[in-house]
Amino acid sequence: MEETLIIYDDIFLDHLTGPEHPENPDRLRAILKGLRKFKLLENPKIKLERSRKAVMDEICLVHSEKYVDFIEEFCRKGGGILGTWGGGVVCSRRSFEVACYAVGGALKAVDEVLNGKYRNSIALIRPPGHHASIELPYGFCIFNNVAIAAKYLMDVKGVAKVAILDVDAHHGNGTQEVFEETSKVLYVSFHQDRIFPGTGSIEDVGRGEGEGFKINFPLPPYSNEEVYLKALNEMVDPILDQFKPAYILVSAGFDAHHLDPLTGLGLSSLGYVEIYKWIRETAERLTGGKFSAVLEGGYDHEALEKAVPSVVAAMAGLTIEVDDPPQKMPENLKNAALRVLEKVGKTMANYWTL
């Protein structure tokens, strides 16, 4: 078994959003530049494969056929902006096709791990997905790549339970909405409080059968890896032990990096490494090592060039030297972050043994 599979395809550069838009093709170019710079694509533990195109039935595991047809038609006519900018989505003529390959990239990433070829995988795809809801494109997202991958694992591949760890700086409102009422998906989100899309409060724990299976950490600005790791070790770890997922998916946002222009969190590349080492070790214990990360946000090119290669290396059990040390948190915000963790702990103690 090889270690880590990267899914990437040049077609992802064909989703054109305009030069001023933060979610543009240069994000992926920056990541590839970093992977080459650290010689990761030459490493025998890491393999790069191209994406595949998802078919209607796969996309409709989450979205309605009517919605998929609407997006296809909108793009065929030349595209434009769906919704308002920020919350809306810029589509170009080829965006529908690219979005089908983004879904296919996430599905191929899980397939290749499920069939035992790789220990884990990362899909470097765009457009991102976790804001897209069942009938609505939102926040740069057309189809919800991670939600479709989770439904595919359960409905097509017969995987009993899936955990989704969302480390994007924005709450994955679409992903939580899709799985709001199920206990088969544990959704855990770390995000900055009081920024777009404004969802993901501590009390937002899921509904019906899904109550207690949605865990939100709305963090203050400058929250760094110390906060993330404390939450992962003290709360997420025991809950995952009790939940017993058969597969772990990661909504791999890199906009929690301290350089990101759209957000104010405080992770460093070394912090991302620590988080993904934790994920790798947790997956070893619970799923035989099986997990897949799917690219979401991250809008600073220097951060992407350092943080993504650092994460890929950590997934493959390698270490690279990156000059991007942990950031210090102001004391008042650190205390605020610890209060958030305490409140989440109290809320989740109603459902889990902590």
| Active-site residue set | 131
Range 259-272 burial, b when 16+ CB lie within 10 A, else e? bbebbbbbbbbbbb
List, in order, residues 6 or more apart from 346 with CB less than 8 Å away. Answer: none
Residue count (the chain): 354
CA-to-CA distance for 193 and 69, rounded, in angstroms?
35
Which of 284, 275, 260 is closest to 314 using CA atoms?
Answer: 275
CA-to-CA dists, residue 18 to 26, 78, 89, 90, angstroms: 11, 14, 11, 8
Pair 279, 165: CB distance under 8 Å: yes
C-alpha–C-alpha distance, residues 33 and 159, integer Å: 35
Q: Around Cβ 283, how many Cβ atoms within 10 Å?
A: 24
CA distances to 84, 178, 241 from 146, in Å: 23, 11, 22
Q: Would you say 298 and 307 are in contact if contact means Cβ atoms under 8 Å apart?
A: yes
DSSP-derived 3-state class of residue 118: strand
User: How far apart are the C-alpha atoms of 44 and 22, rounded to whole Å?
Assistant: 33
Which of 46, 53, 48, 58 is CA-nearest to residue 28? 48
Q: Do 139 and 177 contact (CB within 8 A), yes or no? A: no
Secondary element (H or E) of residue 306: helix 301-315
Given a contact cutoff of 8 angstroms between Cβ atoms, the answer to whether 48 and 118 are in contact is: no
